[in-house]
Amino acid sequence: MPRIAVFIVQRLVKAVFVVLAIAVFNFFLVHAAPGDPAQVMAGEAGAADAQFVEQLRQQFGLDQPLTTQLATYMGKVVQADLGYSYRQQRPVLGLLLERLPVTLSLTLTAFLLALAGGVLLGTLAAMRSGTWSDTAITVVGLTAYATPIFWIGLMLILLFSVNLGWLPAFGTETIGAGLTGIDAVLDRMKHLVLPVTTLALFYMAVYTRLTRASILEVRDMDFVKTARAKGLPEWRIVSVHILRNAILPVITVAGFQAGHLIGGSILIETVFALPGIGRLAFEAVLQRDYQVLLGIFLLTSVVVVLFNLLTDLIYSLVDPRIEVAR
């Protein structure tokens, strides 16, 4: 079997273990919560319906010993049965999958924007380290890093939507406008500008910092001196020798953090009223719909695991020292 296939299989097996471990954790959360597990699972709305609660008790075997309950629960997880939301009157999984695309498009776009912007600014700051532009970038970065995401969102709405009227404040599309084709696409994009920017700002600050530090460190390494001793032009030294080596750790850290942007989407989607998983989490909190919350917890963890896998793969392809593909 080719080395890379072995690598993927190894990592997938590990990923499955992680997901199962999280499911177990889920299970214990329900039982650790105050009150009757059946009522916890039913949620605030469902708990009022005695018949529903009894049904749940049967389904999950909540009067059985703990180990049997765990087995039942794990069995359901493996079959992708994440429970039923009484409030929404539908299975949790379907609900989540319906909302996932919005969240993913928000998160991925923000991630790519943050990475591109961060690397660019970080490189600029490092190349001009000590000058006012470096200081400026660092200070702005520090401030962005200290600002709560939800507040940035609100302030951006205030500025660009309320005061300037350039961009829409809520939703994914202008309701009732009946737009088609390219206009519809543009409309959707306009609606994503503020949310994506908000989510990206925070992480852009992180990546700027990371890139800058990495470049400064690589710049002092021996092989850069060798490149200079060879009489190579400065631009080649920077692009091939410094940047290529400096970007590597940034990609790894960023990649492993990518999954966590999903947590930020809870806040963004709440502020901008986007119909994604984050917003669903907010509603589930308000409605005490615990099955939905736990389902979101499990699903987002799976997303993170997949992201990590992807990052691992990319990193192993880019760094020849990792003995996988070559």
Considering only residues 253-292, where is the footprint of another protein by CB under 8 A?
Answer: 259-260, 262-264, 266-267, 270-271, 281-282, 284-286, 288, 290
CA distances for 99 relative to 104, 217, 262, angstroms: 9, 42, 13
Shortest CB 179 distance to another protein, Å: 25
Q: Which of 120, 184, 232, 313 binds another protein (CB under 8 A)?
A: 232
Cα 204 to Cα 121: distance, rounded to the nearest angstrom: 9
The torsion defined by the Cα of 85, 150, 19 and 206, in degrees rounded to 10, comes to 170
Residue pair 326/316 in contact (Cβ under 8 Å)? The answer is no
Q: How many residues bind another protein (CB under 8 A)?
A: 72
Cα 209 to Cα 117: distance, rounded to the nearest angstrom: 11
Name the token pair of 63. Answer: 């009067």
**Residue 134 binds another protein (CB under 8 A):** no
By beta-carbon proximity to another protein, the closer residue of 183 and 223 is 223
By beta-carbon proximity to another protein, the closer residue of 80 and 162 is 162
Q: Using alpha carbons only, give the angle 120, 121, 127 rounded to the nearest 5 degrees.
A: 90
Query: Diameter of the chain by CA atoms?
Result: 81
Residue pair 38/57 in contact (Cβ under 8 Å)? The answer is yes
Shortest CB 186 distance to another protein, Å: 25
Shortest CB 83 distance to another protein, Å: 14
Cα 275 to Cα 104: distance, rounded to the nearest angstrom: 12
Phi, psi of 218 (to 5 degrees): -65, -35
By beta-carbon proximity to another protein, the closer residue of 144 and 193 is 144
Which residue(s) pair with 84 in the sheet?
A: 91
Q: Which of 48, 66, 142, 186 binds another protein (CB under 8 A)?
A: 142
Segment 67 to 86, residues that bind another protein, using CB under 8 A: none
Q: Is 84 helix (H, G, I), strand (E, B) or coil?
A: strand
Which helix or strand (DSSP H or E) is residue 271 part of? helix 261-272
If you search the block for the tokens 């593909």, which residue do you land on? 325
**Residue 58 binds another protein (CB under 8 A):** no
**Residue 92 binds another protein (CB under 8 A):** no
Q: Which of 300, 311, 312, 316 binds another protein (CB under 8 A)?
A: 300
Contacting residues for 142 by C-beta, under 8 A, at least 6 apart: 205
Segment 165 to 224, residues that bind another protein, using CB under 8 A: 221-223
**Residue 103 binds another protein (CB under 8 A):** no
Stretch that binds another protein, among 54-62, 79-87, 174-182, 237-245 (CB under 8 A): 237-245
Cα 227 to Cα 83: distance, rounded to the nearest angstrom: 60
Segment 27 to 46, residues that bind another protein, using CB under 8 A: 29-30, 32-34, 40
Shortest CB 183 distance to another protein, Å: 27
DSSP secondary structure string for all residues of 224-237: HHHHHHTT--HHHI
Shortest CB 1 distance to another protein, Å: 12
Shortest CB 10 distance to another protein, Å: 5
Shortest CB 189 distance to another protein, Å: 23
**Residue 22 binds another protein (CB under 8 A):** yes
Residue pair 210/123 in contact (Cβ under 8 Å)? The answer is no
**Residue 112 binds another protein (CB under 8 A):** no
Shortest CB 177 distance to another protein, Å: 21
**Residue 155 binds another protein (CB under 8 A):** yes
**Residue 97 binds another protein (CB under 8 A):** no
By beta-carbon proximity to another protein, the closer residue of 12 and 189 is 12
